[in-house]
Structure 1
Amino acid sequence: MILKRGHYLAPSYQTYDFNDFLVGTTKYENPTETGVWHSHEKPVISFVLYGSNNEYRKGKEIERSGGAINYYHSHELHKNIYTKFPSKHISLEIDDTFLTKYGLTEASIELAVTKNHDARFTFIKLLNEAEISDLQSYNSIEMLFVAFLENSLNSKDDLLFPQWMLSVRDLLNDRWDENISLKELAEDVNVHPTTISKNFRTYFQCTLGEYSRKLKIDRSLDLLKSKQYSLTEIAYMCGFSDQSHFTRVFKSISGYLPKEYAKV
């Protein structure tokens, strides 16, 4: 089965057409029979917002859960069996006109997706802009996507990371709910603070503070979806001093207010 531009197998989906590309969301609210072999007419980037599914492609089975991002060439055969509900994906279908405008190929898009380890907030912001859908949305989505591609293609592979920078990354991820000072971080990895400051953006395309805040907000996403905690509780659980600080940072990183994201 070949799905035409803007068409999906999900029982519930929404599309936002911006000519050069099309943003789509697919949602599986309840257990339903899935697993139809299909392909897409256009190249597609698929991002798992939440939920989980098992994908079958190129003779392999891969589990895809929240935060997973995949690239599919046009007419590339695959199937997905959903295992956790509700599940929601964000899709970006790319037209040849966009590739031509920026001198890109399908191979370069695929490489950018393969190398990217921080796609979640780009695609959440992209969805937010698509839902706003005003005269500025096309420019905003285009800028977000181009920046995503540039950051991915210019990012260094893990093999090129110095060991001390890998230690910095691991420490920040392990202690994501703490506010670790640059001095403490430098002492723990036995590197001068200036060395970390000068090199951090080269490897992570953001500042140390931005990276730490993203980790905290990333952890809050599932808590918001669970609807088990108040915003104040989530703020403290994720290492913020108060709810207002949490709300400001969440909005700046995702484009949504926390209560808005909980309803997505």
Structure 2
Amino acid sequence: MKQLTTGQFYGQTNQKLEIGGIILTDTEYTHDWVDWHYHENAYFTFILQGNVLEGNKKEIYNCTSGDLLFHNWQEPHYNRKPKGYTRGFQIEVRPEWIRQSGIALDQVQGSLKLQDPELKLLFFSLFRETKMDDATTALAIETLLLKTFTTLHESHQTDRKNKPLWLGQLREILHDSYPENLLLQELSLNLGIHPVHLSRDFSKYFHCNLGDYIRKLKIEKSLVLLSQKQFSLQDITYACSFSDQSHFTRSFRIMMGTTPSDYRKLYSK
């Protein structure tokens, strides 16, 4: 089985940055099939555009734009790419950077598909930083990556808890529709729990309040759609349940620090 060394991925490298023990790679996937292999370092793969199938010893992940995977070091996997353009953003971390940062990576084993919208928004921000590439890029990337690992650790700890049945039902409702006008009373009725109980326990499992979680999901979806040229800003506005384009732009700027149109330009860099 082949081992890929630091910064090595199957495909065409569009950009590679190395900041201390952090290696960031923007890669166009060009191989229809990649046999079993593993990587020298622990790393994240964030699908920017297109589709790819990834399999490991336990699961097979069908990944599309906006999907995020984490692989601990030397975790074997394979890839299959359907026809069409696929682009991924990878971040590797050397063992010495992990040790110096005090990250308990040994608690997060194997290959994982990460669903937390906070993690995905952090990766959209990390991607943006690589395209800005100015005097503060290195500091911003390291800060964002440390926050990523903190969030990953919190999500992993939450996943290990004995979670109530309604939690999975709630996640499904929110991720399927993130309804703008759904009232707490109505949501509680659907789940069969008291509104106070839902409001109190939501932050325990999702690390933010219900309203903020829905806002993150909406911005996350808009970022995925911005990578697809066939969607206009007006299309995205209504697909993500914003009342109008100015509301979309304002909400996007607050969460991402830039406008949707300016972020869209990053995909051509």
- Residue 107 of structure 1 deviates from its aligned partner by 2.3
CA deviations 1:20-72 (Å, max 9, x no partner) are 211111124xx655425544332222222232223344487543333433333
For the residues of structure 1 that align with 2:39 and 2:258, how far apart are their CA atoms? 30
- Residue 9 of structure 1 deviates from its aligned partner by 2.4
1:36-185 aligned within 5 A: 38-58=37-57, 62-110=61-109, 114=112, 116-118=114-116, 119-155=119-155, 156-157=158-159, 160-185=162-187
For the residues of structure 1 that align with 2:73 and 2:170, how far apart are their CA atoms? 39
CA deviations 1:119-161 (Å, max 9, x no partner) are 3212111111222233333332233222222233223228622
Counterpart for residue 7 of structure 1: 8
Secondary structure (helix, strand or coil) at the match of 1:144 reads helix
For the residues of structure 2 that align with 1:26 and 1:183, how far apart are their CA atoms? 46
Check whether the contact 2:70–2:114 (CA below 8 A) recurs between aligned residues. Answer: no
Check whether the contact 2:222–2:240 (CA below 8 A) recurs between aligned residues. Answer: yes
- TM-score computed with the length of structure 1 as normaliser: 0.82
Moved more, 171-180 or 232-241: 171-180
Letter in 2 for 1:206: C
For the residues of structure 2 that align with 1:116 and 1:61, how far apart are their CA atoms? 14
- Residue 243 of structure 1 deviates from its aligned partner by 0.7
1:7-26 aligned within 5 A: 7-26=8-27
For the residues of structure 2 that align with 1:14 and 1:91, how far apart are their CA atoms? 10
- Residue 240 of structure 1 deviates from its aligned partner by 0.6
CA deviations 1:180-226 (Å, max 9, x no partner) are 23333234334333333322211112221121112222333443333
**Structure 1 position 195 matched with structure 2 position 197:** yes
Change in 2 beyond 3 A, CA 1:256/1:161: farther
For the residues of structure 2 that align with 1:147 and 1:234, how far apart are their CA atoms? 28
For the residues of structure 2 that align with 1:163 and 1:56, how far apart are their CA atoms? 28
1:185-264 aligned within 5 A: 185-263=187-265, 264=267
- Residue 82 of structure 1 deviates from its aligned partner by 1.5
Check whether the contact 1:179–1:239 (CA below 8 A) recurs between aligned residues. Answer: no
Change in 2 beyond 3 A, CA 1:10/1:158: same
- Residue 239 of structure 1 deviates from its aligned partner by 0.9
1:25-36 aligned within 5 A: 25-28=26-29, 33-35=32-34
